[in-house]
Amino acid sequence: MSLTDDIDELERSLKNTKFDRLVVILKKHFEARATKGTSHVLFKVPWSGDPLINVQPTKGQSQAKQYQVEQVLKALRKLQQQQQTSEPKGEET
């Protein structure tokens, strides 16, 4: 799945995203950071300002928290925008 596919998937299932699926998507697009002795999962993003995405499963549930899905969507859209602006433009003749 592409970045666009992952964004579309999260937009369609904003309230019903499995936490494990959210982590798979994050691992595909961002650098995972080591966390020991905690349920938090951290990911480094390639820009300054908000350098980390921090997600944590809800106790006793397999669903991701909606605000975390929204946070991931925001980061994926920003990544997509950066990729689009950094792509070389076709040569004009």
pLDDT digits (tens, 9 = 90+) for 48-78: 887 899 998 888 888 999 999 999 999 999 9
Query: Beta strand 41-44 with 52-55: parallel, antiparallel or unpaired?
Result: antiparallel
The model's pTM is 0.86
> Is pLDDT above 60 for 93?
no
Q: Among residues of the chain, what percentage have pLDDT more than 90? A: 57
Buried b / exposed e along 50-69 (16+ C-beta atoms within 10 A):
eeebebebeeeeebbbeebb
pLDDT digits (tens, 9 = 90+) for 78-88: 999 998 888 77
Coil/strand/helix, residue 56:
coil
Query: Backbone dihedral region of 37: left (phi > 0), alpha (psi from -120 to 50 degrees) or beta?
Result: left
Residue 49 has which token pair? 């300002």
Q: How long, in residues, is the chain?
A: 93
